[in-house]
Amino acid sequence: MKSKSVALKKHPIQNPKGKLGILLPGLGAVASTFIAGVLSARKGLGKPIGSLTQMGTIRLGKRTDHRVPKINEFVPLAQLDDLVFGGWDIFPDDIYTAAAKAGVLERTHLDPIRGELGKIKPMPAVFDPAYVSRISGPNVKKGKSKMDLAQQLIADISKFKKSNNCSRLVMVWCGSTEKYQTASAVHQSLAAFEKGLRENSPNIAPSQIYAYAALQSGVPYANGAPNLSVDIPAMLQLSKEREIPICGKDFKTGQTFIKTVLAPAFKARLLGLHGWFSANILGNRDGEVLDDPEAFRTKEESKLSVLEYILQPDVYPDLYGNYDHRVRISYYPPRGDNKEGWDNIDIFGWLGYPMQIKVNFLCRDSILAAPLVLDLALFLDLAQRSRMHGIQEWLSFYFKSPMAAPGLYPEHDLFIQLMKLKNTLRYLKGEELITHLGIEYYD
Ligand SMILES: NC(=O)c1ccc[n+]([C@@H]2O[C@H](COP(=O)([O-])OP(=O)(O)OC[C@H]3O[C@@H](n4cnc5c(N)ncnc54)[C@H](O)[C@@H]3O)[C@@H](O)[C@H]2O)c1
């Protein structure tokens, strides 16, 4: 039973002493559902279902060892009782009001924690209607330049940390999806980016100003939307220089979550694909923002990219060389946060005979996203305490468009992503990695 042992991590993991502040730009449906859920779980009023850090386990050693601790007993994570919450929004509503307006959680869940939720009030946001055009609100900062706005955010972060007595902070972007953007000259280096901040470059989006402020403050940053945000060379450089972990983009919650389970299954069985048509109806504020073609384009790119990477048409031209992939999102207010996703999948098998699969997922967007926010916050804090920095590819599990090192294609298969995540935890603790080879059981 020989197996190669892994090198121990060079740096021991610092213990999570004191309070962890979770800062959220965008206190809408996802953020309020996340905060209310953590407060409820902490009071024993509900369970944090869907959260790997709270409910997941990890196998260690051989199958015959029967060592399967809970993840939060295996790696030192911040406890729910040690979390404090803050954030920014263009609407001044406290979290109780924001959650009530979002209409995700019922009063029976919100009322027992009303006092705590009511105390969390958004700080004025950095907002630019050129990037999010469908909504406007009064709680917005004014500044002489984008650098001035970044400095105001840095001051907010420092004040929050002090007044809440936090030992560490993380930031998770839960704000709206911004208009489509590709990296331009101003994003290519930190010097160019800072010059752009001072000169008010129109190519610097609000989400990038938050990301810059977070990294300059030593705060890890996760990007829950498909915005470029930290996925630009300037931020990569800053995250390396300041030794801060970053990850993104776009929470993988509903339709894309299912897509990254089904597509690897077709590929595993070498079933071909003629087409995949995905439609969605949703009626929350996110749906309203995505009704703008520019914002939809950002989301569309994120949703479309997964199949290409999973199916590898260049490697399997007979199976995936010519499929049609379309994604539609329609804003339909009566549905609120209860999104409905339809998928029509045209596959083909032996001798090319066609078959169809229909998926109808009646989901709840923020209920699926909230546990991801929790896991990302706790794992980013773990990464920081383990002295990991730059892109955290092991957190790809949570994203539709996982960030990867320049020149490296992202891994989209949900189960490979999960294996990567768990192996990273084993690696951090100096445990043997699990390859699933299993030949040793038959020696
Ligand atoms: N719920 C999901 O399943 C899911 C999945 C993937 C991605 N996302 C993304 O997560 C984000 C949040 O989703 P949601 O349903 O909570 O949307 P939401 O519209 O309810 O909340 C977003 C909030 O961000 C605020 N905002 C916009 N720009 C801001 C800025 N510059 N600074 C501060 N606040 C700002 C808005 O006022 C709004 O309250 C969206 O970008 C969405 O696309 C959600």
Domains defined for the chain, CATH in brackets: 19-251+367-428 (3.40.50.720), 258-362 (3.30.360.10)
Ligand 1 geometric centre to CA of 173 (Å) = 8
Query: Is the minimum distance from the CB of 285 to ligand 1 under 6 angstroms?
Result: yes
Ligand 1 mean position, distance from CA 155 (Å): 23
329 lines ligand 1 (CB under 6 A): no
Residue 107 structure tokens: 């009063």
For ligand 1, whether the C-beta of 29 sits within 6 Å is yes
- Binding site membership of 89 for ligand 1 (Cβ less than 6 Å): yes
pLDDT tens sequence across 312-339: 999 999 999 999 999 998 899 998 888 8
The answer, yes or no, to whether any atom of ligand 1 lies below 6 A from the CB of 367, is no
The answer to whether residues 268 and 347 touch, using CB atoms and an 8 Å cutoff, is: no
For residue 174, report the distance from its CA to the centre of ligand 1, in Å: 5
Q: What is the pTM of this model?
A: 0.95
- What is the full per-residue pLDDT of the chain (443 aa) written as tens digits? 444 455 556 668 999 999 999 999 999 999 999 999 999 999 999 999 999 999 999 999 998 999 999 999 999 999 999 999 999 999 999 999 999 999 999 999 999 999 999 999 999 999 999 999 888 999 999 999 999 999 999 999 999 999 999 999 999 999 999 998 999 999 999 999 999 999 999 999 999 999 999 999 999 999 999 999 999 999 999 999 999 999 999 999 988 999 999 999 999 999 999 999 999 998 888 788 888 887 888 877 777 888 988 999 999 999 999 999 999 988 999 988 888 999 999 999 999 999 999 999 999 999 999 999 999 999 999 999 999 999 999 999 999 999 999 889 899 999 999 999 999 999 999 999 988 888 888 87
Per-residue pLDDT tens digits for 169-205? 999 999 999 998 999 999 999 999 999 999 999 999 9
* Cα–ligand 1 centroid distance for 26 (angstroms): 6
Distance from residue 1's CA to the centre of ligand 1 (Å): 50
Q: Kindly give the number of the ligand 1 atom that is closest to the alpha carbon of 127.
A: 31
- Tell which atom from ligand 1 comes closest to the C-alpha of 285: 19
